[in-house]
Chains A and B, each alone.
Chain A
Amino acid sequence: MSHRDFQRTMPGAKAHFQRSKSLWSYTCLDAWMLLLLCVLCGFGLYVLYSASGQDITYVERQAVRMGAGFLLMIFLAQINPKVFMRVAPWLYVAGVALLVAVLLFGVQAKGAQRWIALPGFRFQPSELMKLVLPMTLAAYIVRQSLPPTLVRLLVSLVLLAVPMLLIMKQPDLGTSFLIAASGIFVILLSGVYWRYVFLALGAAGAALPVLWSFMKEYQKQRVMTFINPESDPLGAGWNIIQSKTAIGSGGLSGKGWMQGTQSQLNFLPESHTDFIIAVIGEELGMRGIVVLMCIYLLIILRGLLIAVRAQDSFSRLLAGSITLTFFIYVLVNVGMVTGLMPVVGVPLPMVSYGGTSIVTLMAGFGILMSIYSHPQLRRH
């Protein structure tokens, strides 16, 4: 054991305990992260007002969801990560059961079966799974010393595949992709040997044609449209052409808030939900997008910092996975709207209008803050 390692574990931990005595730390919240999230939400509401066609009710509803998300975040921040580790398997089993239930008794909406109707509100089990899956995988993987063995790895992949396939079946390509990403991040961060990674990549490459044959027509359509959006300019390619036009015509400084012709004259579809970044690009220009990207980057940086500072592997893996999955949201959404990736239903985090994703994301940040505020040492 080197001196440096000792320094890193023991006094560092002590420092945390000392800091937790400050008044702010009683809230168990990370002030930096909280500040960044508040800025992001404010920016989101500002853009949403314009993107919804100056409809204040949208902004109000979105603000209410954000408030609920913040409350959930504060609540989760109080819970010790050990609790997450303990309940993860049970939550996983419950989550998978609910996903099966969705397929059997779920509510149909827009050609997909994603909802479970409870008296009073509707609920998407797939959203729950976004957090439960990385939690479960992290909990499972850290039961042995890292890096994980091949057997553990294969079991992890099965644990990952079950909810992913169930969600794909709904069908909800975007969410299943996000869940897969969150699981894969846990595995990658656990220090899995690179040779396994490359092996898996090779296998995945070989499996692509097989996957293609299993895809639904609308999914194939999306991929084809992505490859050549001009092939169907009034049909499936319309969204991409219009969003690229919106962003491109915004230029460096934009047409001005609420002045975008593409978004205000309804040329841009889904302008207040998945395609809201196009409104930012059109009205606030490249400057607006860069500002937003900087906020996202700072949040990711902060999240990764929390992960690195965490004292046990479970917390580290979970924090890292949550943060990187958040990045995947941004990457897939912006990539999609700017025409770099196929159209997959992934919202722009905290900015796109829509309840479930905001609440889930805030819950994720709650877990991050719980990890931040509950440093712990492994007991043996």
Chain B
Amino acid sequence: MSLLADQLLVLVMLINLVMLGTSRLIFSIRAVAVQGVILGILPGLIHPFSFHLAGITAGIILAKGIVIPYFISNAVRKAQIRREVEPFIGYVPTLLLGAVFTALSFAFAEKLPLAPEHKDLLFVPASIATLLTGFLLLTTRRKAISQVIGYLVMENGIFVFGLLLTEAMPVMVEAGALLDLLVGIFVMGIVINHISREFSSIDTSRLQTLKEE
């Protein structure tokens, strides 16, 4: 089973690279939705069946795979944008950076003092790589929607790390984390709305005009 889980984690990392390399927003959103669905399946693969687990799986697939991507694509449609233009760093350099970070996260995970049963799994490097990818998206992209996606990817990275602990994680914590994410997306949706109304664009670099002199 853990072999299948590792393969899915490799897929997660590949999706990271896809998101770094693409310029089309809708494609990014779909990619993040797929990543969410994979993350939803993962707990079922590594832990024995329980109703708690089934609930978590259903909740995650619903939130990460359907609801949140739906909200974001709605926002994309309303703001009438298709592509991320003029990122701070070009697509190819970010792609290369993403590859470097993924490699580094493997090196870093090697040195972490992990429990022996987690040692051989890909969970830790995949989680760190996804986290760093989220950071990369947040720092290099200009549009607010891309940043929401970056935020989602980052959260996915944290979630992967949390998978190690799913057994010990009570439902309330799980639900709390998901709710947190959902509210975060809502708030960002509202912020995007306001940015686009105020500046008639959703370019976050324009926000610096708000800075006090």
- Asked if A and B bind, the verdict is no
